[in-house]
Chains A and B, each alone.
Chain A
Amino acid sequence: MSSLALFAVVLVYLALLFLVAHLAEKKRSKRWVNNPYIYALSLAVYCTAWTYYGSIGVAATSGLNYLPIYIGPIMIIPAWIYINTRIVRISRINKISSLADFISLRYGNSRSFSAIITVVCLLAIVPYIGLQIKAISETFHLVTETSISNNILTDNATFVVILIALFSSYYGTRYVDASEKRLGIISAIALESFLKLFFIIILGIFVIYFVFDGFSDIYEKASKFEDFKEKNTFKGIEDAMNWMVLCMISATAICILPRQFHTAIIENRQEKHIKTAIWFFPLYLLIFTVFIFPIAWGGRLIFDGEKVNPEFYSILIPQHFDNTLITVFVFLGGLSSCISMIIISAITLSIMLSNNLIIPYGLLGKFKSDNEIQNTRNITNIRKFSIFALIIMAFVFYKFFILKTSLDSVGLISFVVIAQLAPSFFGAIFWRRGSYKGAVAGLLAGLAICYFGLIIPQYYFSYNQEFKGVVREIYDVFGFFNISFLSRIPEIFFWSTLVNTSLFTIISVSVKGNYRERNFAELYVDIDKHILNHENAFVWRGTAYVSDIKNILERFLGKKKTEQALRIFNLKYNIDSKTETADSRFIKFSENLLAGRIGTASAKILIEGVTKEDKISLKEVLNILEESKENITLNKKLTEQSEELQKLSNDLRKANENLIVKDRQKDDFLDSVAHELRTPITAIRSAGEILADDDDIPTDIKQEFLNNIITESDRLSEIINDILYLDKLEHGEIALNIKENNILETYKKALNPLLHLIQQKNIHLSEVNLLNQTVFEYDEARMIQLFQNILGNALKFTDDQGTIQTKLAEKADHLIITIFNTGQHIPEEDLEMIFDKFYQSKNQNILKPTGSGLGLAISKKIVQAHSGNIKAENSGLGVTFTISIPYSITKNEVEQNQ
């Protein structure tokens, strides 16, 4: 493929990234931008050229050692739910924008410590960026089959690197507050992570199924190599130890690498996204790993004996088979790996460089100008310049130091150097006693060991062979420290972290700490206690004026934003806006406002410039913290109590509302009962009046009136009985007499008294028996009443010559009885309510109901007492009542009803 064509492809690809970044910035609130998968994919910035190309080389030349860079993270990521959740909280409330800020703030917010950490990161990461540039350049020439040009101006990699630098500085410095979320960049990174996985899957499938005949074919052929077994098994304890240490290095790196810290912590938008990441990201790595083995050994089978770099098998294989499409795909996958690493690393390093080195050590005075716009422009310009400077430094490093070294070793050295931050990093969130002095001493000692043990031999020897002999002799003096079963990198990792951790621990416990670092130790370790009112936990005593601090804030935030921030602060702590002196809470609040823009150390220096702080002893700090802790507990208790009261008052209100409803229902019920009673009384009274007043009333009419008095009196007592009975059922005063009975016989007993009425109306009555058994447990007397109520009801509503049909069946341990009648449909909205006596009285106050309206309410109570349920439905030509009663009525229910 020609250079020009490939360059065009790269341009299109970068344009796509610009587009995605642009769209994501524009649609910040949209679901496709703000979701946990974008976050989880952005973490895959971990997979750089080293993982993409380098691990294939390792798998082919030194076997299983390619696995630790995947296994290490997979091992530690589940712990993120605990570790990273806390770090995210700490960073959010302290406006932390970089790894250096995070560690140095904990150890007393020291300018020097944050500068040292920045230097460590530069030392570790710049060569690593160089490594990515090297990969871009080499693969570019490999795909275009051209040789690497020594002239920077004719090297295509130069132009690609410049484009990346432009992209990063444009999208990486859009916000002056470094703790802001960079959605555009993160979305572009997530897309790249997706693409690199996608391309490696395509290549893997191509190698396994098109070049070879499946995975087993590769395995079978590769196992004929003499060194196959040796490379794919552990050579005893020695290999296993090396392997384990390498896993530890990667596990540390995934937490501390600046780019990982940035994507996982600073760019975390919601804590719950971590939950998705802890399964999604390991899965991503596992899929990646699956394809390394077949590509590596497939490559060896194809290129056995030829002089090619196994790190680039992934490009060489499709190229060997003249498959340009897959070759370009693989190249773009590699390019993605490199670009995302360069972008995120450059952004994070530029934030550190500007906030922790350039601004606090050189340009803080420059920000004296009152012009917020000018200051903002200065800060972003410094970051833009830093990004460019870093990428150029990396480019230079690549050209002069790592031209000849493998991707793998440069990557691992970076990891070991970065791992020196581990003791102070993990100590920050777990150990209160850890101190600034211990952390710095440990870090410097660890760095020295890395420098002499790894950096000099790796870079210096490879650059200048002549000195090799002399320096080697000096090195021999330290032969004592050689560990025979560890190879070079694990050995140096072991010694450096051992010395580092030991110094950190010993100095921390033996030297008295500074009050400020102890203050932040409490804030970090007990983050959950302080998360709501963290400004309260900041200890500060001295003289400071709100107006002075406000002046500083205005220089960086502008007048409007400063006023707004102060309003929020005063509201939060209920402070009068006319207060002139600043307290510790205001100092911390203001430092936070500045921290995102110029870093925590510079923020502290600026605020210190206008305040006069009194010395506080460590003992006093501990006392104050203890008090503040007690306050928090007290506050918590009070809040809980007030919440309880609130709940109680809500409950009371609900109970009261309920009572009002119940009261109205009671009135309605009484109203309806009174109405019901007055009808027979009227009939009795009228008949009585006529009989009393009228002497010449004919005998047959007289007889009829007397009969009326008797039947209406019966009706009256029936209504009264129904009411009393329903009341007893409701209050569970009637004991059920549960026995085994034959349901068919019970039905007959209920039906017999009604038969002549049914015959009178010429109603067609039928029964369908679908039962396998006929004996069930129930209270027979109640069941007879239930049948009579429902049948009586059906009888009332069914016209002459209509139909009533009863069906008995079993379904899922329940006896099911349906009684259908061809009466008028019940209005849909009343279907559930017809069993409710109160509801009836409300809705039937105009149209006359047929019957007292208590029969169905009683029926429902009887069914409920049997743990069953009853419902009515309009079906076809009439209405169906369905009763369902369980085979075994729970004893509990029965007892309750007793």
Chain B
Amino acid sequence: MRKIIIADDEHKILMSLEYSFKKNGYDVYIARDGTEVLDFLKTMVPDVILLDIMMPNLDGYSTLEAMKEDERMEDTKVIFLSAKNNPKDIEKGLKMGADAYVTKPYSIKKLMQQIEEMFG
């Protein structure tokens, strides 16, 4: 079973993502901001992380940066999930090493497909 961490501070967005991924057989972990993501990473290595960019305490960019230093995370797919749809922001996210950048609002179905394709 693939492990996925979903990081977003919007309760209602988390709800639908959690429901959909669970239904598709993922082991889902919910984080409210970047620090909670890093807490999870101390004890586990997820297959996918969905990261919002604007979050309280630790934002998405910084979270990814911190993760990159951990060798265990080499195979983990990181997808930014943000309402910031500025080309500059997208470029920045991809340059930092994210595997994909999906803008809000998105289709959960398509998002799911995209992830499936990543694992071939």
A contact residues vs B (CB 8 Å cutoff)? 671, 674-675, 678-687, 689-690, 693-694, 701, 704-705, 708, 711-712, 844-848, 850
The proximity string for B residues 1-33 relative to A, scoring 1 for CB distances below 8 Å and 0 otherwise, is: 000000001101101110110010000000000
* Given A690-B20, A701-B19, A708-B12: A681 in contact with B55 (beta carbons within 8 A): no
CB-based contact B13/A679 at 8 Å: yes
* Given A683-B10, A686-B16, A708-B15: A846 in contact with B108 (beta carbons within 8 A): no
The proximity string for B residues 24-54 relative to A, scoring 1 for CB distances below 8 Å and 0 otherwise, is: 0000000000000000000000000000011
Interface centre among A684, A704, A847 (most CB of B within 10 A): A847
A686 to B15, CA, bound (A): 9
Option from B53, B84, B105, B108 in Cβ contact (under 8 Å) with A690: B108
Closest to A701 in B: B19
CB-based contact A686/B109 at 8 Å: no
User: Given the complex, which residues of A lie within 8 Å of B105, measured CB to CB?
Assistant: 678, 681-682, 684-686
Q: Taking the nearest CB of chain B, how far is it from the CB of A673, in angstroms?
A: 11
Option from A674, A675, A687, A846 in Cβ contact (under 8 Å) with B59: A846
A683 to B104, CA, bound (A): 9
CB-based contact B16/A846 at 8 Å: no
Closest to A676 in B: B83
User: Given the complex, which residues of A lie within 8 Å of B113, measured CB to CB?
Assistant: none
CB-based contact A847/B84 at 8 Å: no
User: Given the complex, which residues of B lie within 8 Å of A685, measured CB to CB?
Assistant: 105-107
* Given A678-B105, A685-B105, A847-B59: A705 in contact with B16 (beta carbons within 8 A): yes
B contact residues vs A (CB 8 Å cutoff)? 9-10, 12-13, 15-17, 19-20, 23, 53-57, 59, 61, 83-86, 103-109
Closest to A705 in B: B16
A847 to B35, CA, bound (A): 13
CB-based contact A678/B16 at 8 Å: no
CB-based contact B56/A847 at 8 Å: yes
Apart from A846-B59, A846-B61, A848-B54, 17 more pairs, CB < 8 Å: A674-B83, A675-B83, A678-B83, A678-B103, A682-B105, A686-B16, A686-B108, A687-B12, A693-B109, A701-B19, A705-B15, A708-B16, A712-B12, A846-B53, A846-B54, A848-B9, A850-B56
CB-based contact B104/A682 at 8 Å: yes
Closest to A844 in B: B54
Q: Taking the nearest CB of chain A, how far is it from the CB of B57, in angstroms?
A: 8
CB-based contact A683/B56 at 8 Å: no
A679 to B86, CA, bound (A): 15
User: Given the complex, which residues of A lie within 8 Å of B9, measured CB to CB?
Assistant: 848
* Given A679-B10, A679-B13: A689 in contact with B108 (beta carbons within 8 A): yes
CB-based contact A848/B55 at 8 Å: yes
User: Given the complex, which residues of A lie within 8 Å of B19, measured CB to CB?
Assistant: 690, 701
A357 to B82, CA, bound (A): 96
Option from B16, B59, B103 in Cβ contact (under 8 Å) with A683: B16
* Given A846-B54, A847-B59: A686 in contact with B83 (beta carbons within 8 A): no
Q: Taking the nearest CB of chain A, how far is it from the CB of B58, in angstroms?
A: 9
Q: Taking the nearest CB of chain A, how far is it from the CB of B12, in angstroms?
A: 4
User: Given the complex, which residues of B lie within 8 Å of A686, measured CB to CB?
Assistant: 13, 16-17, 20, 105-106, 108
A685 to B84, CA, bound (A): 17
User: Given the complex, which residues of B lie within 8 Å of A844, measured CB to CB?
Assistant: 54
User: Given the complex, which residues of B lie within 8 Å of A682, measured CB to CB?
Assistant: 10, 13, 83, 104-106
Q: Taking the nearest CB of chain A, how far is it from the CB of B28, in angstroms?
A: 15
A685 to B111, CA, bound (A): 13
CB-based contact B16/A845 at 8 Å: no
User: Given the complex, which residues of B lie within 8 Å of A680, measured CB to CB?
Assistant: 12
25 contacts between A and B (CB under 8 A): A675-B54, A679-B10, A679-B83, A682-B13, A682-B104, A683-B10, A684-B105, A685-B106, A686-B16, A686-B17, A686-B20, A689-B16, A689-B108, A689-B109, A690-B19, A690-B108, A694-B23, A705-B15, A712-B12, A845-B84, A846-B54, A847-B59, A848-B9, A848-B54, A850-B56
Closest to B106 in A: A682
Interface centre among B15, B16, B83 (most CB of A within 10 A): B16
A612 to B13, CA, bound (A): 101
Q: Taking the nearest CB of chain B, how far is it from the CB of A240, in angstroms?
A: 93
CB-based contact B15/A675 at 8 Å: no
A690 to B10, CA, bound (A): 17
Q: Taking the nearest CB of chain A, how far is it from the CB of B18, in angstroms?
A: 11
Closest to A677 in B: B83
A687 to B86, CA, bound (A): 25
CB-based contact B56/A845 at 8 Å: no
User: Given the complex, which residues of B lie within 8 Å of A687, measured CB to CB?
Assistant: 12, 15-16
A705 to B59, CA, bound (A): 27
Q: Taking the nearest CB of chain A, how far is it from the CB of B27, in angstroms?
A: 19
A711 to B19, CA, bound (A): 19
Option from B13, B84, B106 in Cβ contact (under 8 Å) with A675: B84
User: Given the complex, which residues of B lie within 8 Å of A693, measured CB to CB?
Assistant: 109
User: Given the complex, which residues of A lie within 8 Å of B57, measured CB to CB?
Assistant: 847
Q: Taking the nearest CB of chain B, how far is it from the CB of A231, in angstroms?
A: 96
Q: Taking the nearest CB of chain B, how far is it from the CB of A9, in angstroms?
A: 84
User: Given the complex, which residues of B lie within 8 Å of A846, measured CB to CB?
Assistant: 53-54, 59, 61
Q: Taking the nearest CB of chain A, how far is it from the CB of B56, in angstroms?
A: 5
Closest to A711 in B: B12
Q: Taking the nearest CB of chain A, how far is it from the CB of B108, in angstroms?
A: 5
User: Given the complex, which residues of A lie within 8 Å of B10, measured CB to CB?
Assistant: 679, 682-683
User: Given the complex, which residues of A lie within 8 Å of B84, measured CB to CB?
Assistant: 675, 845
User: Given the complex, which residues of A lie within 8 Å of B61, measured CB to CB?
Assistant: 846
CB-based contact A679/B104 at 8 Å: yes
User: Given the complex, which residues of A lie within 8 Å of B23, measured CB to CB?
Assistant: 694
Q: Taking the nearest CB of chain B, how far is it from the CB of A600, in angstroms?
A: 74
Q: Taking the nearest CB of chain A, how far is it from the CB of B64, in angstroms?
A: 13
CB-based contact B54/A847 at 8 Å: yes
CB-based contact A683/B13 at 8 Å: yes
User: Given the complex, which residues of A lie within 8 Å of B12, measured CB to CB?
Assistant: 680, 683, 687, 708, 711-712
